Amino acid sequence: MTPDATKAVRMVEEAAADVPVAEIPRRVCTAVCEGLGMDGATLSLLTDTPSRQLLAASNDAALLLEEIQFTVVEGPCIAAAHRGEPVAVDDLRAGVSPWPLFGAGMRERLPQVESVYALPVFFGDYVLGSIDLLALRAHALDEEALEEASLVADAVAAALLSTRDMIITGSRPPAWEPEELVRAHWFDTARAVGALAAARGLAPEDALALMRAEAFRTGGTLADITRDVLRRPPGPPGTG
């Protein structure tokens, strides 16, 4: 491994050692970001499914990167989880993104971000989620560095093993830090989808699609629409 990858793996291992389980995602996310010299990072599970769970975001820019992908249902982290391989967007300004809605959202809301990288997180042979990395410079990771960053993703998977019970079996939002971040991007979204589906007689996937369409219409994010749905209960089936 290169010195940077070795350093990042060590930082991830240290971040998860002898700390409360609820703090592990945030600490590990910060370690990945700092260890690889990036300007932001996120951790998410079930990334390419409607049950997506955001575990941590290192800063506001990383959180917005995640919100854009969660809303438009496309982008590097979703592709990495679906393909099971790293995905690189080396220059958002010069190149044409293979994901038009993602590219438009990034240009509008995160114009300062020039490159994005996504790494699948494997538990055994199964891709459980992904890591997103953003940089304020183009070509932040070359091909070799991106390949070795996958070893950092392996360290993240090992670090998250102790959190699996909280992730899988909890009926309440897990006590990650900060808790409000997860509520907006996982637990509350699931609640809003369920409420909208029940009130309007929709399948959950159709209710989620309706919420995403509203996000497109208003220029907001899915987290914004979630808050609106939960503040104002939807009408009965057949109403607007």
Asked if residue 187 and residue 163 are part of one domain, the reply reads no
The pLDDT score that the predictor gives to residue 220 is: 78
Q: How far is CA 23 from the centre of its chain?
A: 17
Which token pair is 136? 């304020």
Asked if residue 120 and residue 97 are part of one domain, the reply reads yes
With contact defined as beta carbons under 8 Å apart, do 14 and 42 qualify? no
Which token pair is 111? 């114009």
Query: In a structure prediction context, what are the per-residue pLDDT tens digits for the chain, which is 240 residues long?
Result: 565 788 899 999 999 998 888 788 889 999 999 999 999 999 988 665 656 678 888 998 998 898 888 888 899 999 998 899 999 999 998 877 789 989 989 998 999 999 999 999 998 888 888 999 999 999 999 999 998 899 999 999 999 887 766 665 554 545 444 556 555 566 677 788 888 888 889 888 888 888 888 887 887 777 788 888 888 755 554 444
The pLDDT score that the predictor gives to residue 184 is: 58
Query: Is residue 130 assigned to a domain?
Result: yes
The pLDDT score that the predictor gives to residue 181 is: 58
Closest CA to 90 of 49, 20, 32, 137: 137
Asked if residue 190 and residue 84 are part of one domain, the reply reads no
155: containing domain: 3-167
Asked if residue 37 and residue 88 are part of one domain, the reply reads yes
Asked if residue 97 and residue 13 are part of one domain, the reply reads yes
Asked if residue 119 and residue 41 are part of one domain, the reply reads yes
With contact defined as beta carbons under 8 Å apart, do 190 and 151 qualify? no
Q: Phi and psi for 233 in degrees, rounded to 5?
A: -55, 135
- CATH code of the domain in which 28 resides: 3.30.450.40
Distances from the Cα of 216 to the Cα of 102, 170, 195, 200, angstroms: 12, 31, 20, 20
Asked if residue 73 and residue 187 are part of one domain, the reply reads no
The pLDDT score that the predictor gives to residue 235 is: 58
**Count of domains observed in the chain:** 2
Asked if residue 184 and residue 161 are part of one domain, the reply reads no
CA gap 19, 10 in Å, rounded: 15
CA gap 167, 109 in Å, rounded: 30
Per-residue H/E/C for 62-74 = HHHHHHHHHHHCC
Asked if residue 185 and residue 162 are part of one domain, the reply reads no
Q: Coil, strand or helix: which one is 181?
A: helix
